[in-house]
Structure 1
């Protein structure tokens, strides 16, 4: 039995009524979604896009929460090391400085970019994009910033840095007295908020809103 989606006459439809699956490249008619519904590929089950409720307002709240967590996550102590009567407070920033002062400038630059600079730049791009939609101004700049954000997505590696911190804690726990700092809680919270933001900030709705087709993207 043939697939009804594939056998339908799609050639004559305009491009804005078509959607292609990112996983299996199946071309199909774009379904119209209601609030809190999502479209899935009939061939492989991949989520094509979703229509979430109050996407702009919820995303703005999460972006602001992430920005508030950014400073304590990077500059408050992640862990406190007590060894031979000496105490040391380790933060993300002191880790970057330690690598640089140890002669590993290249590694320090990579850690700084992936754990501090690019995550902050991503959040600022998201904030600017959401504000252009919310205030209905400068959407052409919003389109540019959203493209930049998508290019940066693969370079913000907070989860990799967190795994490195957890490995270091496991290895050092038998060598010295360790106590976890507030910075670690803020760092984990920042990571979770960013993951939540990726889920809430529906790319399809953002692209449509930026293109001016949906002025009610925040509904």
Structure 2
């Protein structure tokens, strides 16, 4: 059952893995519905409403801007410090003929997360009023396919390993950018636990 499939509003749940059909019932707080055949999670009780999700999206956007503006790390050798931001690193990789890595880093660390948060803000802004905004169906489909393409957690873990190893050769000082990315990683993890399909049930088509 994809994010754009509104069959849940008909009182049915369809397992994405084995196509088993279940009759839907309201879930209590903290309750999770799982498939009896393959144990796939069908639905969770929503812990956050559209208002809270919109506030969380705004917070993530602020942290995202900080993570891309502030330097990530400062390396110092013989008293000469050198710091860089994410985009400084991407540009350097491009200039050193690592174009594929530079493009992947730009997509997964900047453009995809930015698009994802923009779409979150769009659907939650209207959902808080119980409405489906223009392009709701397309936004839900895009969010479904963008889910595995935000790599902030991979970047943070890789940066931490690089910082530890670089200490052998340089004086390394983590800058605010890396901490902002750590906070962004946590926020993206929270978004990953949200079942967006439930927006189909709490919203309705806008009246012309």
TM-score class, shorter: 0.7 to 0.9
Residue 194 of structure 1 and its aligned partner are, at CA, apart by: 1.4
* Aligned partner of residue 128 in structure 2, secondary structure: helix
Residue 103 of structure 1 and its aligned partner are, at CA, apart by: 2.0
* Aligned partner of residue 196 in structure 1, secondary structure: helix
Kindly indicate whether residue 177 of structure 2 is the aligned counterpart of residue 183 of structure 1. yes
* Aligned partner of residue 135 in structure 2, secondary structure: helix
Q: Which position in structure 2 is the counterpart of 1:89?
A: 83
Structure ID, larger Rg: 1
Q: Distance between the aligned counterparts of 2:112 and 2:167, measured in 1?
A: 31
Q: Distance between the aligned counterparts of 1:111 and 1:93, measured in 2?
A: 9
Kindly indicate whether residue 206 of structure 2 is the aligned counterpart of residue 204 of structure 1. no
Q: Which position in structure 2 is the counterpart of 1:66?
A: 60
TM superposition score normalised by structure 1: 0.81
Q: 1:155 pairs with 140, 144, 149, which one?
A: 149
Deviations 1:61-101 (A, max 9, x none): 11010000011112212211001232111221111111112
Q: Which position in structure 2 is the counterpart of 1:31?
A: 25
TM superposition score normalised by structure 2: 0.85
* Aligned partner of residue 33 in structure 1, secondary structure: coil
Kindly indicate whether residue 157 of structure 2 is the aligned counterpart of residue 167 of structure 1. no
Kindly indicate whether residue 122 of structure 2 is the aligned counterpart of residue 128 of structure 1. yes
* Aligned partner of residue 184 in structure 2, secondary structure: helix
Q: Which moved more, 1:110-119 or 1:35-44?
A: 35-44
Q: Which position in structure 1 is the counterpart of 2:100?
A: 106
Give ranges in structure 2 of 5+ residues lacking alignment.
1-7
Q: Distance between the aligned counterparts of 2:130 and 2:42, measured in 1?
A: 26
Structure 2 contact 13–23 (Cα < 8 Å) conserved: yes
Kindly indicate whether residue 189 of structure 2 is the aligned counterpart of residue 195 of structure 1. yes
Structure 1 contact 31–39 (Cα < 8 Å) conserved: no
Residue 36 of structure 1 and its aligned partner are, at CA, apart by: 4.3
State the superposition RMSD in angstroms: 2.2
